Structure 1
Amino acid sequence: MFQVGDKVFYPMHGAGIVTAIEEKEFRGELEKYCSISIPSSQMNVMLPIKKASKSGLRSVIDQRAAKMMLENYYHAEHEPQLPWKQRFSSNMEKIKTGAFEAGLEVVSDLEYRSKEKPLNTSEKQMLNNAKRLIASELSLIKNITESQAEGLLKLPS
């Protein structure tokens, strides 16, 4: 159960802070909702508490785990070339999980591929979205701006 002030990550939307837990009437029944402020998109989300785990809402990872995963990210091995459709589908599934490490894998894979040859429009968009999601979580974890967090995602040349 989340509390007001908790830092959370909502897949496909980004990291945010729980601003309220309140009961609302919906279809004649009282239901508890979690209100989340997501700074990266300047959006507020209300999510039924009973659907929180199914939606993938989770606490942000801690600084130690983030540091370890970023180290792995900088030294990641890359899979052999997959056909575009298969690669796109695999990367989309990783992003949808909302797992920090899976998002880093997508960013690493697409950054690596972009150094070999230019990404197509869909993959550029996917890369930008994955970076935004990861940066939103890093900014809350490290208490830095999102642009500073995106700077942490730059791979060495």
Structure 2
Amino acid sequence: MAKKKHEFKPNDFVVYPAHGVGKVVAIEEEEVAGFALELFVIAFEKDKMTLRVPTNKVSDVGMRALATPDVVSNAMKTLRGKAKVKKAMWSRRAQEYEQKINSGDLIAIAEVVRDLHRQDDQREQSYSERQLYEAALERLTREIAAVAGNDEGAAQAEITDVLVSRAA
């Protein structure tokens, strides 16, 4: 069987919408129900999880390469913006935030971080609000760190600086 050219190769970082940044560790062939299936093996070290994605399903599941530096700077611009909180019921807004986080779209994730970020002097966040905020912040931090080749601490500090400075 001839080897096909793939858009991802081992050691590439990729974004899987539902899980965030992972690293392609191998391209394997497995036999499933009598069919030879070629799979990307993706490791998510933070979550101690390995995912196998058929190479022909990459676009269907929304797997993509890391964001470009331009997209990262647009995400940072989004963070600097004013929070846009709709007047809809929390359950409806929570669903929208969840969809944005799982879309894998860095700008949409930045919007969630921006909209749910609270200053110390602002009202308390509900548990579910904090959960969504932390999930979005983690996705944003991991991808920005991976794009910049930094550690997550540096990316987290950069994001925090932007969030704090916009409120000043």
Q: Same fold (TM over 0.5)?
A: yes
Q: CA RMSD in A?
A: 2.0
2:30 aligned with 1:24: yes
Per the alignment, residue 80 of structure 2 pairs with 74
SS at match of 1:41: coil
Where in structure 1 are there 5+ consecutive unaligned residues? none
Q: CA deviation at 1:114?
A: 8.0
Is 1:37 equivalent to 2:43 in the alignment?
A: yes
Correspondence 1:66-105 to 2 at 5 A: 66-105=72-111
Fraction of identical pairs, as percent: 26
- For 1:44 and 1:151, locate their aligned partners in 2 and report how far apart those are by CA, in whole Å: 28
Alignment partner of 2:53: what SS?
strand
| Aligned residue in 2 for 1:132 | 138
TM-score if structure 2 supplies the norm length? 0.83
CA contact (8 A) 1:14 1:40 kept: no
Q: Distance in 2 between matches of 1:40 and 1:88?
A: 24
Give aligned pairs, total: 157
Offset, 1:112: 4.7
The one-letter amino acid of 2:100's match is K
Higher alpha-carbon deviation: 29-38 or 79-88: 79-88
Offset, 1:11: 1.4
Structure 2, unaligned stretches of length 5 or more? 1-6
Distance 1:87 1:115 in 2: 23
